[in-house]
Structure 1
Amino acid sequence: MTLSLDDIAWHRSVGQLIDALDKPNFWTQLVRLLDQYVSFDSWVALLFSADQRPQVFAECPGEDGSPDQLFQDYLRGLYLLDPFYIACREQSRTGLYRLSEVAPEHFELTEYYQRYFRLNVVADEIQFNCQLEGDRTLCLSLGSTQRFSGQQIALLSLIQPWVLGLLRQRLPYEINEVVALAPAPPQADWRVQLEESVQQLKGAQLTARELDVGRLMLSGCSSKEIARKLEISVETVKVHKKHMYSKLGIKSQSELFSIFLQAQNA
């Protein structure tokens, strides 16, 4: 078997990344290598954990070098509506995943998509997921202003074993080793936090099931998808929605999303 110059260049680059596993510029070096093969416009490396806010290990710098306010909103609570986060929590998996594989049926109609995703990620997203012990997932997410082509996805699928292996080997070298190597102390359930905030903001007492229905609605799930996920009937979903809207004094998902944002920032 004869190696091409491209093969040699790839293996040489992977060798350099192995040498850089304990270096501060590891993530930058990795995404620069990937960008040579597939173009993308944004990236972030983060850790999803059960009952914990995502921990960011590295992210692409903003145009002026300042923190991205939209991404800060994501870390405060919008991540609960992220299709990739939801997919990780519902079924932990290792591999390469496209937005189209995890996004709910009505994702592009949601306020989350209109007010966050299309502004921060723009058009498409793919994510390398590395499942870890303790119900955690190490992720490298790539965002693009254009849809990733089938050819690009095929190429990323071909190299994913190298990328996932590098992600696993990098984890022990992250600065916060307590979080990286062992499960962090659990925070309060997000439902409890959100319910307390909603009660303070609107004086409303929502049930756990109403909160579940509301979050799934905001993430883009249709009534059928919500019914399937919660193992209830579509009619029951509609009843929960009606009660929730009545308690909050609202008439639209746009208003519900605004309350959700206020609650996360409260």
Structure 2
Amino acid sequence: MDQGFGAWNSAVGAAVEAIGTSAFGKRLDAALATIIDFDILMVFAYRGAEKPVCCYHNMDATRAQTIVEAYIAGPYLLDPFYGAAMDTRGSAIRRLKDMAPDHFYGSEYYRRHYVLTGIRDEVGIVCRTPNWTGIVISFTRPVASPAFGRRDLSLIRGAEPLLRTICERHWGVTGSDPVAADPIPGHDPINDTLNRMTNGVLTPREVEVTSLVLRGHSNASIATALKITPGTVKIHRKNIHHKLKISSQAELFGLFIRQLSSN
């Protein structure tokens, strides 16, 4: 960090030279390191509801098993960055805390993924290529470090046009040939999984409520999203627990992950 304009130019030049080669990920890592401090760099490519592909990460095998392999197994559907990749209205810089639902940090997904991985804060650059619905280049800071601040975000915004361009150039020609599958309007992969999981036990409205609970929405947030009252949300949640014979969000999350694994 703070190595100067020359260091940034040199590192980005090396990354440009590596476009289309296996060295690109490490050189992208080195370029980012000249402008900001971060711990993990990872790149996930998404195509519709298919399991994502990890195009690059800078972790050892043990840490990658928790952060990458467990994520790909199914919880990615609950990830705000997956939602950003599926929102095809454009490319952008996204920050976890700005996208996360109001109860995200108390959700089972957060406890079972972010807490286990030791990630405190995460910023991602969303890219678009013909062969993927979206690619997210994300970098994180651990719990022992400060969250990304205004200066960090300003530097990222300044570098984003060039970083996105070279990443789209590289991952647009490597990793996969098929044309990207855009999200189908009105089609929600989480709801599809819940319908299979519950086999018609839950009503369509109860499935919607369950989906929002898993994503980390509070009763008030669910009520706003579905245009119903918080009291009605509470009734739905009580009925959901009764029908699924569960008593906690942890049990609901466990059912959801088992269903994804069985797929």
Q: Which residue of 2 aligns with 1:19?
A: 17
Q: Which residue of 2 aligns with 1:33?
A: 31
TM-score (normalizing by structure 2): 0.84
Q: Which amino acid aligns with 1:205?
A: V
- Deviation of 1:261 after TM superposition, in Å, equals 2.0
Point out the more displaced range, 160-169 or 66-75: 66-75
1:50-98 CA deviation, whole Å, 9 max, x = no partner? Answer: 332222212223255x851453232121112112223443574412111
Identical residues among aligned pairs (%): 27
Q: Which amino acid aligns with 2:121?
A: D
Helix, strand or coil at the partner of 1:53: coil
In structure 2, distance between residues paired with 1:155 and 1:185: 32
In structure 2, runs of 5+ residues without a counterpart are: none
Please, which of 57, 72, 79 is the counterpart of residue 82 of structure 1? 79
Q: Which residue of 1 aligns with 2:110?
A: 113
Helix, strand or coil at the partner of 2:137: strand
Helix, strand or coil at the partner of 1:256: helix
Helix, strand or coil at the partner of 1:142: strand
Q: How do 1:1-266 residues align onto structure 2 when only pairs under 5 Å count?
A: 6-64=4-62, 67-89=64-86, 92-132=89-129, 136-145=133-142, 146=145, 147-178=147-178, 181-183=179-181, 189-199=189-199, 205-266=201-262
Point out the more displaced range, 52-61 or 90-99: 90-99
Helix, strand or coil at the partner of 1:206: coil
Count of residues paired in the alignment: 255
Helix, strand or coil at the partner of 2:119: coil
In structure 1, distance between residues paired with 2:34 and 2:67: 27
Q: Is the 8 A contact 2:15 2:31 kept in 1?
A: no
Q: Which amino acid aligns with 2:225?
A: K
- Deviation of 1:173 after TM superposition, in Å, equals 2.5
- What RMSD over aligned residues (CA atoms) do the two structures have, in Å? 2.8
In structure 1, runs of 5+ residues without a counterpart are: none
